[in-house]
Structure 1
Amino acid sequence: MTDLFSGHPDQQVFDEHRRLLFSVAYRVLGTAADAEDAVQDAWLKWSAADRSRVADPKAYLTRIVSNEALERLRSARHKRETYVGPWLPEPILTGGDASETALAGESVSMALLVVLETLSPLERAVFVLKEVFAFGYGEIAEMVERSEPAVRQAGHRARAHVQARRPRFEADRAQQRQATERFFAASSGGDVNALMELLSPDVTLWTDGGGKVRQALRPVVGATTVAGWFAAIGTVTYQGIEPADMRAELVEINGAPGLLFSGPDRVVATVTFDFDAEGRIVTIHNVANPDKLRAVADGTRHDIGTR
């Protein structure tokens, strides 16, 4: 995006909070492009504001970006409801706090972002601001321009909804990385048996091609079917890319180890995993819509910590 911040006298204050603003907007929206646009709009409003009356720039800027994100999310809802196939969040490469803090990594995981898609826009914003960034309900009420009782009610609904649909296991990053490396080796070698050992019997594969590339329009369920799907990667031409020209690398995606698949001239897919308490893969999210791969294709690593 065009950098509108360079050289502006208020750039330093804004830049101190720019990472936080992107982190909030991305979790509310689930897309990097929209989050960057929300941050840019926040800058425009910040630069036009009477900052002599701003006592707390962090809270003020978070309020602006939260409202921008809310408006964008409301307008995006119809498009997501009419989307071709499953709608998955836009993956991002991560680093910094996301790799060091369990909360930061969990709160930006593909699995949680998928659950957040089922909340109302207000519930999602309140959940992100309260549960991830630890703002108080009074602060959040000002940020989203609602009464504090309404915000508390939305927060309680959102927390109960997320807890019911997103069981939390103690994430062992070393175990996750090892399983991801084994999955990478097994899929690269077409080893169905090795893949089966890594998958939960009722594993579910969600694929997002957005109608732009050929992908499954419904979830693929069961270890045998999912293992066969990935074992075939090294033997078939995909989007015009011969198996010999397809490369994969292990990278950090949305706060956890994942796989990035590329051809000679473009990124073609990301694959991320969700694990059960025994360390088996229970869910796989495969994003192949080229419109959603721009954030990973440009190589930018986002520090999406919670401070």
Structure 2
Amino acid sequence: KVFYKSIIFHAHILYSSCCIYMEEQNFTQVSEFLLIGLSDDPDLQPLLFGLFLSMYLMAMFGNLLIILAVISDSHLHTPMYFFLSNLSLADIGFITTTVPKMLVNIQAHSNKSITYAGCLTQISFFFLFGCLDSLLLAVMAYDRLVAICHPLHYSVIMKPRICGLLVLVSFFISLLDSQIHCLMVSQLTFCRDAEIPHFFCDVPKLRDLACSDTSANNIVIFFVGTISGFLPISGIVFSYYRIISSILRVSSSNGRYKAFSTCGSHLLVVCLFYGTGLGVYLSSAISSSPRKDEVVSVMYTVVTPMLNPFIYSLRNKDIKSALLRIISRIV
């Protein structure tokens, strides 16, 4: 509950901070940006609207079900499901940062603009929930490491207070990362109202549109992005190295299967999240096509938050049992 209240409180701080950044940059002449979106073809607009609306509703419904199942079922009041519910909350925030604005722009055929303050706010929440997703996946990998490699000490190591502290630390690191990105973008100067060839305010696209020197911004953003990306990935790789080493030492094949099945869903989500994110940067490095960047970006901004709850619910007996109990109560 403290974490959920902290989300609301810092959301107000994020919006206020971005507005302050905007006021400080009074030399910036741009007042709004134009989001081009995925396609200019009017015949495709209804199809895109229906597709992304259905994907957004599925993501919201699936993640809310995970949170509801964990809260309502006492059997799921364990560290693994506590982290899973927070991951679902972060996924809800992540997809809500971009998709609703995109749906509004698809409906508004003639006006696809976003204000300067709105763009900074979107950047802040995008990096807040994106970094939080990454850190929570690393925390969940550590949880599986303790459960498999140190099962007798699991309840001692993963105390409720430690679990809550891990989530809060992940949130504040993500908040710091988002504010640094917001500050760096607010330092850019735009000489005129610019068109962003994307469906949301993407930092690389904004740097390309800036008419001021972006070398210092590039260095800071690269440095911060490297740290915030390298630390979770290295933690996940180290955790699974220890997990696989421990599983291979198990003599029976049945024991190896049970041990690996406890982290199979998490490993699949990790591959999906980092695989699609890495695909964006590789595609942008190999090809400079804006349309390709947009299509690949849809994978990690929309598809990944939508698939995560289904991956966990379909492969997890406890989640399926909790959901069936909820449905039976409703019926």
Return the TM-score normalized by structure 1.
Answer: 0.30
Greater strand percent: which structure?
1
Larger radius of gyration: 2
How does the TM-score come out when normalised to structure 2?
0.28
Q: Which has the higher helix share?
A: 2
